[in-house]
Amino acid sequence: MTENAASGPAVELTINGQAVRAERHMTVVEAAWANGVPRVSGVGCLEGVCGSCRILLRRGKEVGVALACETLVEPGIEVLFLPPPAAPRHQYELTDLSDGWDIQARFQEIFPEAARCRHCHGCVRSCPKGIVVEEGVALAVAGHFREAGEAFFECVMCELCDTACPEQIAPAHVGLFCRRITAFFHLRPPNLINRLEEIRQEPPQDGKEKP
Amino acid sequence: MTSSLSYQAALAAYRAGAEPWPLPEPMDPDRLLSAYHPDYLPGSMTTLAVGPNAGEQCQRELAELLQAEAYIDEVDLAGVPVTDTDVLVIGGGGAGCAAALAAAEHGARVLLVTKLRLGDSNTVMAEGGIQAAIEPGDSAQKHMQDTLRAGHHAGDPSLVAALVGDGPDVIRWLIRQGMQFDQTPSGDLHTRPAGGTSAARVVHCRDYTGLEMMRVLREAVTQHRGVEVWEQHSAVELLSNESGQKCVGAVLASRADQTLRIVRARAVILATGGLGRLHLNGFPTSNHLGATGDGLVLAYRMGAKLCELDSFQYHPTGLVNPPLLSGKLVTEGIRAAGALLLNAQGKRFIDELQPRDIVSAAIIRECQEGRGIHPASGGVGVWLDTAGLERRQPGLLGQQFPKLLARARMAGIDPRQEPILVYPTLHYQNGGAVIDAHGATTVPGLYAAGEVAGGIHGRNRIMGNALLEIIGFGRRAGAAAALSGHDRGPKKITLEHVNRARRALALAGLPLARRAPLLFPAYTAPGKDLWKS
Amino acid sequence: MEILNANLLHPRWRVGEHLQRWRDAGGGEALAIGAGNPAAILAAVKEADLRGLGGSGFPVWRKWEAVAHAPADKDKYLVCNGNEDEPGTYKDRLLLEETPHQVIEGAVLAALAVGANRVVFYVNPDLKRSLAALDLALAQWQGSAMQEQASAALGRPMALELVPSSGHYIGGEETAALEWIEGKFPFPRGKPPYPAEYGVHGCPTLVNNVETLANVPAIVRHGAEWFRAQGTGGAGGTKLYSLSGDVLHPGVYELPMGTTLRDMIFVHGGGLLSGKPIKAVFTGGPSNTLLTPDDLDVALDFDSLRERGAALGTGAMIVVSEGTGIVKRVAEYVRFFAHSSCGQCPSCKTGTATISRLLDRIDTGQGTAADMATLETLCAMLPGSGRCHLVNGVVQLLESSFRHFRQEYRQALK
């Protein structure tokens, strides 16, 4: 029994405009590699957490987006590896946010588009991780940053939601902002703080001096 | 003897089984390792003929790259545009980001380059967590002892002291960057034990610790005014001064259009990670695509001393199927939480929380001796009894291991209902470039941080020390690089070190056909994405 | 050309919101005829082969018939679509500004023909003068005997209402208009059901463009045969062409349907600026196939252009001369459409945004051959994937620019 026979009949599909044949169990990435398809960019972790291998995927009349390393080949599908996302448009540094009391106002300054969500669900449809992106953005706009950040817990920053957003909200970055300020302002673990205090009171030892 | 069971038969036997058998008498660890660990496979090692480590043992596939020819000749550099910066960081994973942020905090202009997308690294895939001795019963001393012991006392004590001493402050720094960690109901950081630790010391963010860390660092770097980032730029060679003794920059190749760029820098930090994608000894790997050992090759050609080139970590619990996830990790955290390893007969065969090299060797022993399980899609493995853990602690998998469940869904498996098939997977390069406590290599102007650096983990790393190292030593290297060499910058950039290495290869009678660094594994559409192919 | 601006734009009708002046010129006569025999209106329009002049070119009578046959147990709507927002198209605004009563009369006739009791004038709020003129005109109309006349002919009260649209380009799509009129964001709906079955609030609804409806009074007054005679070749009626770009006399021209591109540009437009050669024409607007000097003698009507694989669209003609950068122009128009994509269909938003980014890269000298290849693959994958036609239009524009000006793209690459 040959390997081909063991893994079933070959699947025919199109990747970056090139017709290819692949084994049934292959991912789109493997199929592209096996066929020497050009312009296969953005492949990284191969397990769906780096968010780099963004593809446009056509199945019949339906065209959507996905991550290539998580997409198995299917007969007749068309795949295009998308260019990497655009540079981030929203600028902030956490250390500039010194006062937690004006954080809502600062959020609106940094992400003014977030409040303009038109509820088209494009972000939700684009998310390869099944995140309720739109709800997360709404929570952030309402100032519920902890809950908003939690909604984005499994976000891999592929930014497909960003590309899909007609109001240019950059939802993935909104979610990350919410997670970051939650830690920055609220994560104060006693066991860590106690140990840091002990270290501060110790005399300096070898190997701990700063360069 | 070879009574290995098929997947279905073994699953049926597992289901019929009652409570697992008691642990057998442990085998002598040294005997176990020398008989079954892949580092000891016949023909796996060779002796280096040239370079700073000439005469030392080195893994064969790595040696081929270390003793290969460069891509670049002087003639290639004519007319290439030059960019100046204070600190050049090569690598966009956790160590590279930490180094870039630290260097920028110390006032340096920083350029970070990565051949992939910023953040696309092994860091983002780390699951288990990061070690820091913060529990009342724990101490830096215990952390140090655990690290040295698990590394078979091959680690450099001064580096290990620096590592463990940084622990608590690294966690504080990460929180200040906006990273979240799991907490106990009373607000303490939640800690787990790990294989080879004497205390619960691993702090984590469910089983997405690396993802949480990486997305936060990535955002911090892109938002930082002092750091410029070039993605999709591979470092194909370093640059040296006229004597070939000091690193003064690097040559980059754009993946988009294959054009070259020269970057002149006062200091260069290698943060290029590991080499899992070399698939040493034919093993699958848990590593991301870019882990091709580029930093080791560049450093070695520049004259930097390396260490422990014959010691690699095979993580005990890589997935066996489905094929698309073969070699991908199941976090050690699941064993720390109480999941057992069972062979085809449903018997335990090793204390699951022994250091990784011991557990891996034991799994390989079981499979070699016919007590493995063979799925139809090929390969062999033993059970990781997630279902038994779920029976004992209902709900635990869902709360603490969402990534495991998500991944198993792709495989069509519910780990709460059935065990997972696992086999060791190439995971980590224990050694690397020799560094001091500031991350400086033996070559002036050249620093190394993270997996590319060596000397900390000895001959085996314990869970949670990699994430600690990349941040702790990333910051150390960044700070030291920023404060180093406040002269007027390099006057001349040369490839003197390349000429020197080429001469050595010729004198040793080695072929000059092979070129390195590899940049990308050969199976990624050769000739399409690689520079100068 | 004696036919120039003779019907819709005849000075007789261009009296603004002044109802009495319009009536003095013969306005309202068509309503009197139509009110006497509403069934004849549809027949006349069908015989005249009036087309949808908002861009579709679809035979108007088919939509009318569907709505006319829909049960009248609840409200029936007629939406007069004046969202006009395409680059280079500026004809509806002129009609609304200068002949609002002609538009109202046409809409009322159409409402009688299909039995619609709610007539909504849906107008882009950025067209401030159009909006003001129509507002005044409607107020006068509603106080006039014609309002009574229409309701009586319909058999139930006919309500006329002005609804400013959201101003989004996508709001001009007929089902998006329905959403906005219902008080929601103007997202295009999935089809079927079509508006004729399930329109505003689920009621049968007819959506026609301003120019389409403005043609109805003349058809009713003079008959289908007269209307057909206004066109040339096989096409009927006149068309308002929005001529712009590098011509000497840009403007809105009412010309026989089927006028050639050559006459349009060189006779009416006065030729090209500085006597430069013509390079291309972006047709309205401009999400269609590009026309080139080879197309100068093609008749500008729906069917003739379709035969050439092009489209008349809204009748916008953006003429560009030699020296114009096609890549830059296409990039600009695609940016407009990408920005206008409503977001519902990730394929459209992601697809057009990606095309736009790649075009910008090429136009600024950063593009590579790989970017071109990616654009061509996008052209193959995207058509037909959206709820509306936005993404198809972008692909048409891009593909035709590739077809005719590939060399120019190549030269822009790194």
CATH number (domain holding residue C390): 1.20.1440.230
Please list every residue in chain B whose beta carbon sits closer than 8 Å to the beta carbon of residue A38: 525, 528-529
Does residue B293 fall inside a structural domain? yes
pLDDT of residue A25: 80
Please list every residue in chain A whose beta carbon sits closer than 8 Å to the beta carbon of residue B223: 88, 91-93
Q: Which two tokens stand for residue A52?
A: 């780099």
Are residues B88 and B216 part of one domain? yes
Any catalytic annotation for residue B502? no
Are residues C342 and C264 part of one domain? no
Of B232, B255, B257, which to mutate for an interface test with C (greatest number of C Cβ within 10 Å)?
B257
CB pairs under 8 A between A and C: 88
Are residues B320 and B298 part of one domain? no
Q: What is the DSSP string of B172-233?
A: HHHHHHT----B-TTSPBPEE--TT-SS--EE-STT-HHHHHHHHHHHHHHH-TTEEEE-SE
Of A83, A120, A160, the CB nearest to C344: A120
Does residue C5 fall inside a structural domain? no
Contacts of C71 (CB under 8 A, 6+ apart): C204
Does residue B468 fall inside a structural domain? yes
pLDDT at B19 over 80: no
Does residue B401 fall inside a structural domain? yes
A164 reaches C (C-beta below 8 A): yes
pLDDT at B533 over 50: no
Inter-chain CB proximity A192 and B288 less than 8 Å: no
DSSP state of C268: I
Domain finish residue from C321, C338, C359: C321
Of C339, C342, C373, the CB nearest to A120: C342
Are residues B110 and B243 part of one domain? yes
For B208-230, what is the mean pLDDT? Answer: 97
Indicate which residue of B218, B233, B315, B374 is catalytic. Answer: B315
Within the 338-377 window of chain C, which residues sit less than 8 Å (CB to CB) from chain B? 368, 370
Q: What confidence category does residue B531 fall into, taking pLDDT thresholds of 50, 70 and 90?
A: very low
Strands (E) in B256-401, as ranges, are 260-270, 306-307, 312-319, 340-342, 373-374, 382-385
Any catalytic annotation for residue B335? yes
Pairwise CA distance, residues C211 & C50, whole Å: 11
Of C346, C377, C380, the CB nearest to A122: C346
- Contact C18/C134 with Cβ under 8 angstroms? no
- Contact C362/A172 with Cβ under 8 angstroms? no
Pairwise CA distance, residues C136 & C311, whole Å: 36
pLDDT of residue C233: 85
Q: Which two tokens stand for residue B134?
A: 């913060």
Pairwise CA distance, residues B382 & B166, whole Å: 37
Does residue B19 fall inside a structural domain? yes
pLDDT of residue C120: 98
Pairwise CA distance, residues C116 & C109, whole Å: 10
Indicate which residue of B204, B335, B374, B497 is catalytic. Answer: B335
DSSP state of A25: T
Instruction: Point out which residues pair with C121 in neighbouring strands.
Output: C80, C162
Tell me how far CA of residue A58 lies from CA of A14, A199, C358, C381, in angstroms.
Answer: 10, 58, 20, 7
pLDDT of residue A205: 59
Pairwise CA distance, residues B3 & C55, whole Å: 74
Q: What confidence category does residue A204 fall into, taking pLDDT thresholds of 50, 70 and 90?
A: low
State pLDDT tens for residues B385-429. 999 999 999 999 999 888 888 888 777 889 999 999 999 999 999
- Contact B180/B205 with Cβ under 8 angstroms? yes
Helices then strands, each counted (H, E), chain A = 9, 5
pLDDT at B245 over 50: yes
Does residue B14 fall inside a structural domain? yes
Helix (H) or strand (E) holding B87: strand B82-90
Pairwise CA distance, residues C404 & C327, whole Å: 11
Inter-chain CB proximity A80 and C185 less than 8 Å: no
- Contact C138/C121 with Cβ under 8 angstroms? yes
Q: What is the DSSP string of B6-57?
A: EHHHHHHHHHH--SPPPPPPPPPHHHHHHHH-GGGSTT-EEE--SSTTTTSE
pLDDT of residue B148: 97
**How wide is the angle at C-alpha B207 spanned by C-alphas B424 and A151, nearest 5°?**
145
- Contact C349/A122 with Cβ under 8 angstroms? yes
In 3-state terms, what secondary structure has residue C86? Answer: coil
Of A83, A118, A160, the CB nearest to C343: A118
Phi-psi region of B224 (alpha: psi -120 to 50; beta: other; left: phi over 0): beta
Helix (H) or strand (E) holding C243: strand C238-245
Q: What confidence category does residue B3 fall into, taking pLDDT thresholds of 50, 70 and 90?
A: low
- Contact B430/B308 with Cβ under 8 angstroms? yes
Q: What confidence category does residue C145 fall into, taking pLDDT thresholds of 50, 70 and 90?
A: very high
Omega before residue A203 within 30° of 0, cis: no
In chain A, the domains with their CATH numbers are 3-81 (3.10.20.30), 94-186 (no CATH)
For B436-459, what is the mean pLDDT? Answer: 97
pLDDT at A53 over 70: yes
- Contact B419/B387 with Cβ under 8 angstroms? yes
Inter-chain CB proximity B165 and A208 less than 8 Å: yes
pLDDT of residue B376: 86
Check residues B3 and B307 and name the one with the higher pLDDT: B307
- Percent pLDDT > 90 in chain B is 82
Among the residue ranges B12-21, B88-97, C230-239, the one predicted with the least confidence is B12-21
Pairwise CA distance, residues C352 & C343, whole Å: 11
Helix (H) or strand (E) holding B236: strand B233-240
Measured in degrees and rounded to the nearest 5, phi and psi for residue A119 equal 55, 50
A92 reaches B (C-beta below 8 A): yes
Q: Which two tokens stand for residue B398?
A: 């869902």
For B255-259, what is the mean pLDDT? Answer: 85
DSSP state of B76: G
Of A29, A47, A71, A161, which to mutate for an interface test with B (greatest number of B Cβ within 10 Å)?
A47
Are residues B466 and B386 part of one domain? no
Chain-wide mean pLDDT for chain A? Answer: 91
Please list every residue in chain A whose beta carbon sits closer than 8 Å to the beta carbon of residue C385: 58, 61-63
Inter-chain CB proximity A16 and C377 less than 8 Å: yes
Does residue B307 fall inside a structural domain? yes
Q: Which amino acid is at C119?
A: V
Q: Which two tokens stand for residue B493?
A: 């950039």
Q: Which amino acid is at C55?
A: G
State pLDDT tens for residues A2-49. 333 345 579 999 999 999 999 888 899 989 998 989 888 889 999 899
Does residue C61 fall inside a structural domain? yes
Number of domain units in chain C = 3
pLDDT at B118 over 80: yes
Task: State the CB neighbour count (10 A cutoff) for residue B521.
Answer: 17
Number of domain units in chain B = 2
Neighbours of chain A (3+ CB pairs under 8 A): B, C
Pairwise CA distance, residues C113 & C98, whole Å: 25
Task: Give how far A182 is from chain B: nearest CA, Å.
Answer: 7
Are residues B236 and B379 part of one domain? no
Are residues C178 and C42 part of one domain? yes
Q: Which amino acid is at A68?
A: A
Does residue C51 fall inside a structural domain? yes
- Contact B295/B452 with Cβ under 8 angstroms? yes
Inter-chain CB proximity B525 and A30 less than 8 Å: no
Inter-chain CB proximity A43 and B289 less than 8 Å: yes
Are residues B365 and B229 part of one domain? no
State pLDDT tens for residues B277-305. 999 999 999 999 999 999 999 999 999 99
Of B122, B144, B203, B223, which to mutate for an interface test with A (greatest number of A Cβ within 10 Å)?
B223
Chain-wide mean pLDDT for chain C? Answer: 95
Q: What confidence category does residue B5 fall into, taking pLDDT thresholds of 50, 70 and 90?
A: confident
Q: Which two tokens stand for residue C8?
A: 């819709």
Of C344, C357, C380, the CB nearest to A17: C380
Of C357, C368, C374, which to mutate for an interface test with B (greatest number of B Cβ within 10 Å)?
C368
State pLDDT tens for residues B152-174. 999 999 999 999 999 999 999 99
DSSP state of C266: I
Inter-chain CB proximity A183 and B136 less than 8 Å: no
Within the 169-208 window of chain A, which residues sit less than 8 Å (CB to CB) from chain C? none
Inter-chain CB proximity C346 and A125 less than 8 Å: yes
Pairwise CA distance, residues B520 & B531, whole Å: 10
Could you identify the residue written with the tokens 């960003």?
Answer: A162
Among the residue ranges A186-200, B154-168, B402-416, C275-289, the one predicted with the least confidence is B402-416
Q: What is the DSSP string of B382-447?
A: EEEEHHHHHHHSTTHHHHH-HHHHHHHHHHT--TTTS-EEEEEEEEEES-EEE--TT-B-SSTTEE
Pairwise CA distance, residues C53 & B394, whole Å: 66
A25 reaches C (C-beta below 8 A): no
Does residue C153 fall inside a structural domain? yes
Are residues C34 and C141 part of one domain? yes
pLDDT of residue B62: 97
Task: Give how far B229 is from chain A: nearest CA, Å.
Answer: 10
Does residue B197 fall inside a structural domain? no
For C83-101, what is the mean pLDDT? Answer: 96
Are residues B117 and B230 part of one domain? yes
pLDDT of residue C414: 85
In 3-state terms, what secondary structure has residue A127? Answer: coil
Inter-chain CB proximity A206 and B158 less than 8 Å: yes
Domain finish residue from C259, C286, C321: C321
Residue B147 Cα to chain centre, angstroms:
16
Task: State the CB neighbour count (10 A cutoff) for residue B412.
Answer: 8
CATH of the domain at B234: 3.50.50.60
Among the residue ranges B5-14, C102-111, C249-258, the one predicted with the least confidence is B5-14
Pairwise CA distance, residues B467 & B456, whole Å: 13
Pairwise CA distance, residues B80 & B71, whole Å: 15
Contacts of A57 (CB under 8 A, 6+ apart): A63, A64, A65, A66, A71, A77, A78, A79
DSSP state of C205: E
Q: Tell me the residue range of the domain where B220 lies.
A: 74-122+207-311+430-483
CATH of the domain at B17: 3.90.700.10
Does residue C9 fall inside a structural domain? no
pLDDT at C271 over 70: yes
Q: What confidence category does residue B458 fall into, taking pLDDT thresholds of 50, 70 and 90?
A: very high
Q: Tell me the residue range of the domain where C290 lies.
A: 233-321
Are residues C366 and C306 part of one domain? no
Q: What is the dihedral of CA B370, B375, B378, B380, to 10 degrees?
A: -30
State pLDDT tens for residues C323-379. 999 999 999 999 999 999 999 999 999 999 999 999 999 999 999 999 999 999 999
Candidates A45, C366, C358; CA nearest to B277 is: A45
**How wide is the angle at C-alpha A192 spanned by C-alphas A188 and A193, nearest 5°?**
65
Could you identify the residue written with the tokens 């959506």?
Answer: C207
Alpha helices per DSSP H over A50-170: 103-110, 122-126, 133-141, 145-151, 160-164
For B264-269, what is the mean pLDDT? Answer: 96
State pLDDT tens for residues B46-70. 999 999 999 999 999 999 999 999 9
Inter-chain CB proximity C377 and A65 less than 8 Å: no
Q: Taking the model in full, what pTM does it have?
A: 0.93
